[in-house]
Amino acid sequence: MYFQTAIRLAAPVAFFGYAAFANIALFQADVEGPHLDGFVKGGFTQEVDTLYRANLPHRDVAVGWVGAARYVLLNEGRKGVIAGEKGWLFSSEEFREQDPDQIGLTDTLDWIASVQDRLAQTGTELVVVPLPAKLEIAQIHGGDAEQAQSIAGTYDLFLAELAARDIVTVDTRPALTTETAAFFQTDTHWTSAGAQTVAQTVAESGKVEIGTDKFTRADLDPIHFTGDLVSFVTSEELAPTVGLTMETVTPYVAEMAADDGAIGTIDLFGSDGPVPIALVGTSYSANPNWSFVEALKLELAQDILNFAEEGQGPVAPMHTYLETLDPAEAPPIVIWEFPVRYLSDPALMDSLLPTNGDDNV
């Protein structure tokens, strides 16, 4: 208790000391400072900010070392990450308040229902694939059993409310719970094993018809990368020294085999053959490193067109897909990958708001 308090108090003292040293070094350096006319034109603050960001000595090194020390001594990171146990990191998004009224769950569900209605008009069936939170699946490493159960309750409620609206869903949690390596330790995303587990669950659910296409799996070279949550703790260079080691994934592709056994390709713009299934979702689906779309091809024995987008959440990609959908080329099924951790985001539905700048809209 006293040790942690002392560390927390020592941090600002160290920063003030460094700030004094850094400012002396900065203003002795040969750099262009802010202009006085910035006071008049309103750009002075921006000029000062740019000056410090571009020229403050040792900034990146200091941030990295302070972050590493804070993680080692207090098991804490900066805003955006929650440190679990034994090198596990979790997005702070999973630690938000899960109250259904506060997170506006009803509005989200109503819009999902409207998506189903619009797709039905083109003869397309919607299949929602909710993804449980990493915190719930890996709660043994999370260090917060109460929050894990809270976000698990959101998953339960989401599934129940979708069913109440007659929206087809696939419950992925039971299978992911049994997968020992469903998520990366230092990244927000699932592993290729987690993605494959969900693809198998979709195929075994009976909600999507199994096709007759034949695919073969071809592994690519392994990729070593620093998890996206590490940047909220320390620098990439210092991460291994505090136990945040690099992650490894082996992506793969599903290659369609022709009837004669040769590897072939599909004529996506021809008139022969059925229209492929469409996949909409987040970076869980969009990033080829996780191989989710490839796993779906193998498990469903059907071609998949991927309309998922990275960094947009689950709502914006579906909105974009609907805006560009040609009813004459509507697929028989749209699979919507939907991580439940986004449901507590107060800005989740903002992508549906007008963006033309007209205040009268």
Query: In which domain, by residue range, is 141 found?
Result: 96-352
Is 291 within a domain? yes
| pLDDT value of position 274 | 67
Taking phi first (over 0 means left), then psi (-120 to 50 degrees means alpha), and beta for anything else, what does residue 10 get? alpha
CB-based burial, 325-352: b 16+ in 10 Å, e otherwise: beeeeebebbbbbbbbbbbbbeebbebe
Q: Are strands 168-169 and 125-131 parallel, antiparallel or unpaired?
A: parallel
For the chain, what is the domain count?
Answer: 2
pTM of the model: 0.81
Q: Quick: pLDDT tens for 87-136.
A: 999 999 999 999 988 888 999 999 999 999 999 999 999 999 999 999 99
| pLDDT value of position 82 | 97
- CA dist 59 and 80 (Å) reads 20
Looking at the structure, tell me whether residues 100 and 30 fall in a common domain.
Answer: no
Is 240 within a domain? yes
Looking at the structure, tell me whether residues 87 and 105 fall in a common domain.
Answer: no
| pLDDT value of position 1 | 53
Looking at the structure, tell me whether residues 87 and 112 fall in a common domain.
Answer: no
Is 334 within a domain? yes
Q: Are 349 and 142 in contact (CB under 8 A)?
A: no
Looking at the structure, tell me whether residues 220 and 301 fall in a common domain.
Answer: yes
Which of 47, 67, 92 delimits the end of a domain? 92
Spans of the chain, pLDDT less than 50: 6-7, 9, 13, 15-16, 21-22, 25-26, 30-45, 47-52, 54, 260-271, 356-361
Is 208 within a domain? yes
Looking at the structure, tell me whether residues 238 and 192 fall in a common domain.
Answer: yes
Is 298 within a domain? yes
Which of 67, 92, 117 delimits the end of a domain? 92
Looking at the structure, tell me whether residues 119 and 244 fall in a common domain.
Answer: yes
Looking at the structure, tell me whether residues 203 and 276 fall in a common domain.
Answer: yes
Q: Which residue has the tokens 């034109």?
A: 41
Is 361 within a domain? no
Looking at the structure, tell me whether residues 145 and 224 fall in a common domain.
Answer: yes
- CA dist 196 and 199 (Å) reads 5
Q: Are 194 and 176 in contact (CB under 8 A)?
A: yes
Looking at the structure, tell me whether residues 80 and 151 fall in a common domain.
Answer: no
| pLDDT value of position 232 | 95
Is 360 within a domain? no
Looking at the structure, tell me whether residues 35 and 173 fall in a common domain.
Answer: no
Looking at the structure, tell me whether residues 117 and 6 fall in a common domain.
Answer: no
Looking at the structure, tell me whether residues 118 and 241 fall in a common domain.
Answer: yes
Is 357 within a domain? no
Which of 92, 126, 141 delimits the end of a domain? 92
